[in-house]
Structure 1
Amino acid sequence: MKITAALLREKNGPFSIEEVEIDEPREDEILVKIMGSGLCHTDLFISYILPFAPFVVGHEGAGIVEKVGAKVKKVKPGDKVVLSFRTCGTCVFCLSGQPAYCLNFPRFNSTGRRPDGSTTMKNADGPVYGNFFGQSSFASYALTIEQNTIKVPDDVPLEILGPFGCSVQTGAGAVINTFAAKAGSSIAVFGVGAVGLSGIMAAKIVGCTTIIAVDVFDNRLALAKELGATHTINSKEADPVKTIREITGLGVDYALDCTGVPAVAKQAVESTHIKGTTGIVGLAHGKPLELDYASVQCGRTVKGVMEGDAVPDLFIPKMVELYKQGKLPFDKFIKKYALKDINQAVDDVHHGTTIKPILIP
C-alpha cells in the first residue's frame, strides 16, 4: 500500500516527505491510520546519529485501526488507539512488570527492522528502515503489534493523544511510578518541556506541596506555573541549587532531570536533601555524569528512568482519564503542524517557541 512518510536521509539533515510502500499486516500485526504523532527529542536524537537511511522515525502515534492480522484479538478495525514502545515480553524484566527495561529493547525499537530482520517499508530504491519503537508514526500509516497498541475511548480528541505513548508517560510516570511521590513532598523539575511539564502536572495530582520548575525559557516557566509549579527558577539568572535550598531549607525530596545535559543533571542531584532521590530521563548518550562522591555517599539516590517505569496498557488509560477530568491538561503545551511542515516544527522546538509539536498526516 502506498503511504506518505517523513524520511531521514542524512545526519542532521532535513526530513523529506515522500511516498513509500508499506507491507500488508502480517498475522500478528496491526495497520493503523495515523491521525497525529508527537515530535519527541528522541526522534531528533536519532536524526543526529542516523544509523541507517532512509529511516522513518516517530514514536508517539495515535490513530484508527485499519486492518488486523489473523492472530490479533486485542483490537479491531475502527478502534481508536495510542501507540507506545515495543518489548520482547519474555525477558526477566518484561515478565516482572518492568517492560521499559526489556533486555531486548534496542532490537525491538531501534534497529530499523522487525525482529526477524525484515523492513516494514520500501521504495523504488529498496528498503526503507522503520519499525521505530514498533511503529514509525511520522507517516500516514504505521504497522504495530498488539503489545504496543493501546485502545482509548471514543470521547477523546484522538489526534493529540500520541504523546501519552512516550513523553507524557515518561514525565508523569517518573513522579507517580518511579518516585511514588507522597502528598506533602517537594520536587524540582529541571527542563520543563513536554516531559518536565508532565512531571509538574503529576506532582500536583499526587499532592506535592512544593513544586519547583527550572528552565532557561520564561515562556515555559510561566506555563509550568499555570500547570502546577509553586516556584520557578530561570537558571540563566539564578543558581538553581542555591535557590532551591533557600526555598526548601534542606533541599527537595525529589529532582527530575529532563534536559540530557550532564551539568544540569548534577545540579538536580545537588538540589535534593541528603536522602533525596533524583531521576534522570534526559538523553545524553556517551557523555559522562560526574558527581561529587560525598554528595552521593551521604544517602542520595540517583536513578535512571525509562518510559516512566510504566506498563503502557495500564498507565495510558489512567492518564487519559485524568485528562478527561481536567487534571492532566497536556493540550496546553501542544501545537499542531501538518506532517509536510515537520522541518518547521523541528526548528520551532530548537528555538523554544513550541514545546510539543503534533504532526498531522
Structure 2
Amino acid sequence: MRTSVLLSRGSVPSEVVEAELDDPRPHEVLVRIEAVGVCHTDLVTRRALGSRPAVLGHEGCGIVERLGAEVDTLDVGDRVVLSFASCGGCGQCRAGQPAYCASATALNNSGRRPDGSPTIRVGGEPVFGAFFGQSSFAAAAVADARSCIRVGDVPPEVAAPLGCGFLTGAGAVLNALRPGPGDRLLVVGGGGVGAAAMLTALSEGVEVVVVEPVAARRDLATTFGAEAVASLDEPIPPATHALDTTGRPELIARTLGLLAPRGVLVLVGLGPAEATLDVRSLMLRGLQVRGCVEGDAVPAVLIPDLVRRHQDGRLPLDRLVTTYPLNEFDRAVADQRAGSVLKPVLLPPR
C-alpha cells in the first residue's frame, strides 16, 4: 500500500514523502499510526546512518487495519502500542527477558526483516525500515503481531511513548531497581525516561530526587512531589537507589559516590563505551551497578499495567507530552534539545 512516511537523510531536514509499504506477512499486522513518540535512540540512529535514507520511529500507537493470515491475538480495530521486536523462542525470551533477545539486532536495527526483505520503498527503492520492528514515523506501519500491545481507550499520544521511553523509565524502577516506601531514588536526567521513572517511583511511595539542569523540568518534578536540583554539586542526601539516564561517564562516577552502602545504580542512558569507576569503593560499600534495556520489560505485561496506573490517576503521563504534526519533526527535536518540551509526540496526517 502507499502511505506517507517521514524520510531522514543524515543532517538534511527530514521530509514527509509517499512510500510503498509492504503487505503484512502471515505473522504481521498493518497498523494505521495515530501518534509516535520521538526518542533519543531515533536521533542517535539518524546520525549513525549518515546520508542513508531511513524511516525511523519506534514508539508507535495506532489502529490495527489488516491482519496477517496467522495472526489470532489481535483484531482489526484494536488500538495498540508498538514496542520493540523479539523472537519469542530464544533462551532470553523464554526466560521473560525479551529485551535481551538473541535476535535483537536483526529484528530491531538491521533496517530490514531478518530474512533481508524490505518493508518500505520510496520511489521503488528499498530504504532503511523495520526500525525496532516498526518504523512508525509514518501514517502506517507493518509490525510483528508479537510487538503489538492492546491498550484500549487511552489517548494515542499518551500511549505511544509506552513503546520505549516511558517503558524504559518505568520498567527500570519496577523491574531493575525495585525501591519501596522509605527508599530514596536519585534520578539523573529529567527528560522523558527520567520523568517516567520519577512518576513510577512516586506511585510506589518512594522519595525521589531529580538532577536536571533545565529549570522548567525541575519545576515540573517538584509539582509532582519530587525534590529537584540543578546538578550533582548541590547537597544531596545519600540515596538507596539511583538511575542514570544520561550515559555520561563523569555523572555515573559521581552518582555512585552519592549512594548509601549497598545502594544500586541502574544505567539506561546510551553514551560512551568506557567509564572510570572506583572499584574499591564498589566493593567496600557493597554497591551494585547494572545495565537495563527497555526497562527489563515484557511489554505485554508492563504496558497494560502502566495504562491502568495512568487511568487511575497515579501516573499522569499526559503532562509529559507535547504533540507536533509529523512534518514538524525537526522543530520537535529542536524544542526537545532546548529543554522547552519533555516528550515530543508526532501526529501523522489522517
**TM class by smaller structure:** over 0.9
Report deviation, 1:287: 3.1
Q: What is the CA deviation profile of residues 279-311 of structure 1, one whole-angstrom value per residue up to 9, with x for unaligned ones?
A: 100011x43111112121221100101111110
Q: 2 CA distance for matches of 1:16 and 1:228?
A: 40
Report the TM-score, using the length of structure 2 for normalisation: 0.96
Q: Which residue of 226, 230, 244 corresponds with 1:257? A: 244
Q: What is the CA deviation profile of residues 38-89 of structure 1, one whole-angstrom value per residue up to 9, with x for unaligned ones?
A: 0000101111111772111100000000101110011111111011000121
2:283 counterpart residue number: 297
Please provide the CA RMSD for this pair: 1.3
Q: 2 CA distance for matches of 1:340 and 1:188?
A: 36
2:224 counterpart residue number: 227
Say if 2:163 is the partner of 1:165: yes
State the SS of the aligned residue for 1:71. coil
Q: Which residue of 171, 176, 179 corresponds with 1:178? A: 176
Q: 1 CA distance for matches of 2:80 and 2:124?
A: 32
Check the 8 A contact 2:282/2:288 in 1, yes or no: yes
Report deviation, 1:13: 3.5
Check the 8 A contact 2:158/2:317 in 1, yes or no: no
State the SS of the aligned residue for 2:306. helix
Q: 1 CA distance for matches of 2:315 and 2:130?
A: 29
Check the 8 A contact 2:56/2:136 in 1, yes or no: yes
Say if 2:181 is the partner of 1:215: no
Q: Which residue of 226, 233, 251 corresponds with 1:239? A: 233
Say if 2:20 is the partner of 1:33: no
The one-letter code sitting in structure 1 at the alignment partner of 2:318 is D
1:58 counterpart residue number: 57
Tell me, which stretches of 5 or more residues in structure 1 are unaligned? none
State the SS of the aligned residue for 1:303. strand
The one-letter code sitting in structure 2 at the alignment partner of 1:227 is F
Q: What is the CA deviation profile of residues 91-120 of structure 1, one whole-angstrom value per residue up to 9, with x for unaligned ones?
A: 211110011111221111010000101110
Q: 2 CA distance for matches of 1:139 and 1:53?
A: 18
1:315 counterpart residue number: 302
Report deviation, 1:159: 3.4
Q: Which residue of 200, 203, 214 corresponds with 2:201? A: 203
Check the 8 A contact 1:62/1:160 in 2, yes or no: no
Say if 2:101 is the partner of 1:102: yes
Q: Percent identity over the alignment?
A: 41
The one-letter code sitting in structure 1 at the alignment partner of 2:317 is F
Select between 316-325 and 220-229 the one with higher mean Cα deviation.
220-229
Q: What is the CA deviation profile of residues 316-355 of structure 1, one whole-angstrom value per residue up to 9, with x for unaligned ones?
A: 0000000001111011111110001111001111111111
The one-letter code sitting in structure 1 at the alignment partner of 2:280 is A
> How many equivalent pairs are there?
347
Q: What is the CA deviation profile of residues 157-204 of structure 1, one whole-angstrom value per residue up to 9, with x for unaligned ones?
A: 123311011111111111111112111111100001111011111111
Tell me, which stretches of 5 or more residues in structure 2 are unaligned? none
The one-letter code sitting in structure 1 at the alignment partner of 2:263 is G
The one-letter code sitting in structure 1 at the alignment partner of 2:26 is E
State the SS of the aligned residue for 1:14. strand
Say if 2:325 is the partner of 1:346: no
Select between 179-188 and 58-67 the one with higher mean Cα deviation.
179-188
Check the 8 A contact 2:157/2:321 in 1, yes or no: no
Matches within 5 A, 1:317-336: 317-336=304-323
Report deviation, 1:125: 5.0
